[in-house]
Amino acid sequence: MTPGLLRWLIPLSAVPVLALLAYGFRVNPRDIPSPLVGRPASAFALQTLEGAPLALEAQRGKVVVLNFWASWCYPACYEEAPVLERNWRAYRDRGVVVIGVDIQDKLEAAQKFTRDFGLSFPNARDTTGKVSVDYGVYGVPETFFIDRRGRIRAKHVGAVTDEAFRLNVEKLLSETTG
Amino acid sequence: MRARAPLVGLALALVLAAGAAAQARRVAEQQMHDVAAQLRCVVCQNLSVADSPSEMASQMRAIVRERLEAGEAPEQVVQYFVERYGEWILLSPRRHGFNLLVWVMPAVAVVVGFTLVGLVLVRWTRRGAAAGPVPPTPVDAAMRERIRREIEP
């Protein structure tokens, strides 16, 4: 090896490493693509905070907004609770249902949360964590938009905004049932 | 004496069976731990499901145990989690495709590093040998005088 080549080889070998780092540091580590988008939503049968049965299957034919939350999830869950309630009221007559799933929580705290925000859509408790794992939930809040055929079409991580709710729901409503 | 033999046999069988059951439970515990240790605790930073004290991890351990007890192989249980969370859930990336880079790069870096150091060392020793011994720096009278002043009390 000639000394000239050697002189260039050392800085050149750093280029791919730097490129890899440049790519790695620009990617948000919290932004994890869900493998579930496009796949059928897992069925579940839970109980609401009031003890009534709540099954996803019963909502087939409707656009379902499935929201995972917890009363200790401050501030994101506190920010999105009024958004969910407001949009649920706006869309409930157009074949949209909002379902809340409370995870890793205490019943009393969860009941206080729904009372404080005056939530009128059904909220269930995932006491075993099985539904959370079935949906690949890694934090709260996470929201899944499920189409009329029962397929997960979008996943929203973090507090849902009016815009995100409307965009996703309108898109799924505009589709004809296949 | 003869009447007691069946009783002794029964007792022995019971003890053996209990031992086998305990052994089976221990194996299941170890298996559960082995699977959980491969999975990333989703609510933690850099902790496995086996090591995390969080409620989410303990629920995931319960799911792992339940699936193993239902007769699933450890790989099937891991796959169950991968299907829901993606390969992100695995603490060590699988050895295929782009991931191979992670496994190969350290070895490549070490080999390249040693090679470069070797080449540089060879060049330095050659250059040193070609130049021959370094002639001593001449010391003039003024320097000699200064050294004498500094070392004498």
For B6-45, the pLDDT digits (tens) are 677 777 776 777 666 666 666 678 889 999 999 999 888 8
What residue type is A167 in one-letter code? L
Q: Please give, rounded to a whole number of angstroms, the shortest distance from the CA of A79 to a CA of chain B.
A: 20
Q: Is B42 on the interface with A (CB under 8 A)?
A: yes
Whether residue B116 and residue A34 make contact (CB cut-off 8 A), yes or no, is no
pLDDT per position as a tens digit, A34-64? 899 999 999 999 999 999 999 999 999 999 9
pTM higher than 0.80? no
* Nearest residue on chain A to B44, alpha-carbon basis: A138
CA gyration radius for chain B?
A: 35
User: For residue A140, what is the nearest residue in chain B, using CA coordinates?
Assistant: B43
Contact (CB<8Å) B116/A138: no
The length of chain B is 153
What CA–CA distance (Å, rounded) separates B51 from B47?
A: 6
**Token pair for residue A41?**
């939503």
What's B1-92's CATH class? mainly alpha
ipTM of model over 0.95: no
The residue type at A98: V
Q: For chain B, first and last CA: distance in Å?
A: 106
pLDDT, position B50 = 93
pLDDT, one tens digit per residue, over A120-168 is: 999 999 999 999 999 999 888 999 999 999 999 999 999 999 999 999 9
Asked if residues A96 and A130 have their Cβ atoms less than 8 Å apart, the reply is no
A103's CB contacts (< 8 A; 6+ apart) are A68, A69, A70, A125, A126, A129, A131, A132, A137, A140
Using an 8 Å CB-CB cutoff, list chain B residues near A137: 42
Give contacts of B127 with chain A, Cβ < 8 Å.
Answer: none
Angle between helices B74-85 and B55-69 (to 10 degrees): 130
The backbone torsions φ and ψ at residue A67, rounded to the nearest 5 degrees and listed phi first, read: -115, 125
d(C-alpha A130, C-alpha A42), whole Å:
10
Q: Which helix (H) or strand (E) holds A5?
A: helix A3-26
Q: Quick one: pLDDT band at residue B113, thresholds 50, 70, 90?
A: very high
Which B residues in the span 120-149 are in contact with A, Cβ-Cβ below 8 Å?
Answer: 120, 123
Residue in A closest to B113 by C-alpha? A10
Residues 6+ apart with CB under 8 A from A34: A136, A152, A155, B86
Gap between the Cα atoms of A58 and B146, Å rounded: 102
